Amino acid sequence: MERHFVIFFSPGTFCAEHTERPINSWDVDTAVEMAKGIKERHSAVPYGFQFITRARSDEELDSKVVRRSGTHFLGGEILTLEQVKARNDPKDKILIGNMEGNGWNRVVVNTNSWQWTQPFEDGDVLTTTT
């Protein structure tokens, strides 16, 4: 048995809030539309989502995640470490330290809700919304 889900991520106080919903397939357009109906605490709306597929055999009681997509970010700007440094903004000191210390070459800054910045990793996608 196999089922697909989409997990929406919204800005939270210390870490992302998330909402998981079933979906018929890994359809980006459907997930983008579903995101419009998600609202978390403090009116935060999703900055992105991931698809997962859960599966189990007839002998298993619980399902497990067998596939996971990269994060589909709902808009935003991708910045390299060099671009962040070139801004020469003292407010970027912690971000630069985190990027250097964790080996992050790129981050995405999303402002469709509260500003949210996180690593932009291989397999992630910047999805345009309308």
Mind giving me the DSSP string for 81-97?
A: HHHHHHT--GGGHHHHH
Residue 92 or 112, more confident: 92
What number is the average pLDDT over the span 106-110? Answer: 96
- Long-range contacts (CB closer than 8 Å, 24 or more residues apart) made by 62-69: 63/1, 63/3, 66/2, 69/26, 69/123
CB atoms within 10 A of CB 107: 21
Which pLDDT belongs to residue 31? 97
What is residue 106's predicted lDDT score, i.e. its pLDDT? 97
Torsion of CA 105, 85, 16, 69, to 10 degrees: -20
pLDDT tens string 30-80: 999 999 999 998 889 999 999 999 999 988 889 999 999 999 999 999 999
Q: How many helices (H) and strands (E) does the chain have?
A: 3, 9
% of the chain residues with pLDDT over 90:
83
